[in-house]
Amino acid sequence: MPARAATYRLAIPLLVLLGPASATSDDRPVPPSFQTTSNPGPPRWSVGAEAGWNGLGGVGPIVACSPRDPLVLEGALGYSRNGLALGLRARGLAAVVGLAGLTAGAGLVATAGHSERVSPRPEAFPSLLNLDCLGAPGCPASRHVSVGSTLAAQVTVGLELRGSRGGGLLLLGGYSRLLGGGRATWSAPPSEQQARYVRQITGSGPVVSLALRFGL
């Protein structure tokens, strides 16, 4: 009995000392390198709209699916300068901080082709209708052109801003490389300006696109 009483007398001070230490250890702040963010991750399905130059689907709707984080698969159907456009792309997310993340991807874009009447001085973004120069001296005539379908590969990088409900804003830039197609058939031999105009809307070039998505 005296030995047991002595053991109790030693144990009680130890419990008093260890008790506050064990309680405070759970309340210590977590180092910043181990803190989690409020990033909800890409939604499994989302729909939205895209617009831009050499974008995935020109101007039109875009659908995205995320089978697993950080992979995002996208498909778009819209209207481009070379008619209807259909695009497929795979993207990955990296360096996610909060609701923003860097993204990079690659995809394929097919266009159906189109026909139009090209003015003597065409522009990629004409401010007025493609009109002749109204018989001015030395003014060449307009030409009718039919442009065939195209297939292009593109690589993109950009920034994705995502909301808490899965929607988001996607800003991409990159380069599109023409793989084939885009043959132009003219009603008469074109001027250099007219031929350059068709090359601008069907050939390789930069990619700039903006997409707004809503999570489902």
> To the nearest whole percent, how much of the chain has pLDDT over 70?
69
Domain total of the chain? 1
Chain mean position to CA 183: 28
Residue 42 lies in a domain: yes
Residue 47 lies in a domain: yes
- Residue 147 banded pLDDT, cuts 50, 70, 90: very high
Largest CA distance in the chain: 125
Is pLDDT larger for residue 190 or for residue 105? 105
Residue 14 lies in a domain: no
pLDDT at 12: 53
- Residues with Cβ within 8 Å of residue 73, at least 6 apart in sequence: 64, 65, 66, 67, 88, 89, 90, 91
The model's pLDDT over 100-137, given as tens digits with 9 standing for 90+, comes to: 889 999 999 999 999 988 776 555 444 333 444 444 44
Residue 133 lies in a domain: no
pTM for the structure as a whole: 0.69
Domain enclosing residue 113, as ranges: 38-126+141-215
pLDDT at 169 over 70: yes
Residue range 162-167: average pLDDT?
68
* Burial grade of 46 (CB within 10 A; 0-12, 13-18, 19 or more): buried
Residue range 161-178: average pLDDT?
85
Supply the CATH number for residue 181's domain: 2.40.160.20
Residue 11 lies in a domain: no
The model's pLDDT over 76-103, given as tens digits with 9 standing for 90+, comes to: 999 998 999 999 999 998 777 777 889 9
In terms of DSSP H, where are the helices of the chain?
2-26, 192-202
pLDDT at 68: 80
| Mean residue pLDDT across the chain | 77
Residue 43 lies in a domain: yes
